Amino acid sequence: MSDHAADDTVPEVDESRRKFLIAATAGTGAVGAVLTAVPFVASWKPSESARAAGLPTEVDLSLMEPGQMTTHFWRKQQIYVVKRTPEMLASLTSHDAELKDPTSLKSDQPEYAKNAARAIKPEILVLIGTCTHLGCLPKTRFTPGDATVMANWPGGFFCPCHGSKFDLAGRVFEGSPASVNLKVPPYSFEGDNKLVIGVDATAAKGVA
């Protein structure tokens, strides 16, 4: 026992060394914890098969009557395709003053759809049929003058959930809870009558 008497004296603690070691251990542990979290967080992103199911959708436009709307699915979203008549296109010019974003400055659409008709070809309107308010499906109210929607209704879309109103270019009216216009998905044409939803016009070959 007495041999070890000297060991009982407590050596002086090097406080700065201890602090450094504590900080280094805690820091390394924290970095490790954050890096370990990455795969867990990333596992919530769309899987490979979900991404594969998001391939482009093709629409044959020759089957559509003027003034008709068809709906399609692309990436689990409803896509509205409207073959607009000249009267429908003419209706777009009458109500710019009543719109929140008439020139689509704040809204989300590809560059090639950032024009008055919000389309590559004015007669073909392609929209994501998801209300920009909270994601309901806007319903078609194409009849001009439908007073159940609003006075001087030019024709367009009406969301039944919270009452947002959009014209025939998907532009939102003042007084709607939605603040921006309906989104335009990336799309392009192959030939005269084939619409491809999900492929950008700039990326596709030989398209205006």
Partner 1 sequence: MSATMDKGGGFRAWLNKRLPVDQFVADQLTGYYAPKNFNIWYFFGSLALLVFVMQIVTGIFVTMHFKAGEASAFNSVEYLRREVPYGWLLQYMHAVGASFFFIVVYLHMARAFLYGSYKGPRELLWVIGMLIYLALMAEAFMGYVLPYGNMSYWGAQVIINLFGTIPGIGPDLVEWIRGDYGIGDATLTRFFSLHVVALPFVIALLIALHLVALRQTGSNNPDGIEIKENLGADGKPKDGIPFHPYYTLKDIVGVGLFLTAFAIVVFFVPTFGGLFMEGPNFEPANPSSTPEHIAPVWYFTPYYAILRAVPDQKMGALLMALSVVAFLFLPWLDRAKNKSIRYRGLASKILLGTFFVTFLMLMWLGLKPADGIYVLLARIFTVLYFAFYILLPFVSKADGNGPVPERVTYHAH
- Other CB atoms within a 10 A radius of the CB of residue 200 amount to 15
Given candidates 23, 161, 193, 194, which one binds partner 1 under the rule CB under 8 A? 161
3-class secondary-structure state, position 73? strand
Q: Which is nearer to partner 1, 71 or 202 (CB)?
A: 71
- Residue entry with tokens 């879309």: 157
Contacting range for partner 1; rule: CB under 8 A; set: 5-13, 19-27, 61-69, 170-178 = 170-178
Query: How many binding residues for partner 1 (CB under 8 A)?
Result: 27
Contact between 54 and partner 1 per CB under 8 A: yes
Contact 157, 182 (CB under 8 A): yes
Given candidates 175, 191, 193, 202, which one binds partner 1 under the rule CB under 8 A? 175
Cα maximum dimension of the chain: 109
Q: Which is nearer to partner 1, 92 or 142 (CB)?
A: 142
Contact between 55 and partner 1 per CB under 8 A: no
Taking CB under 8 A as the criterion, which residues in 106-125 touch partner 1? none
Residue 125 backbone dihedrals phi, psi, to 5 degrees: -100, 130
Taking CB under 8 A as the criterion, which residues in 57-86 touch partner 1? 71, 75-78
Strand partners, 165: 158
Q: Which is nearer to partner 1, 78 or 115 (CB)?
A: 78
As a whole number of Å, the end-to-end CA separation of the chain is 96
- Which residues are CB-neighbours of 152 under 8 A, at least 6 positions away? 95, 145
Q: Please give the residue ranges that form the binding site for partner 1 (CB under 8 A).
A: 44-47, 50, 54, 71, 75-78, 132-137, 139, 160-163, 175-179
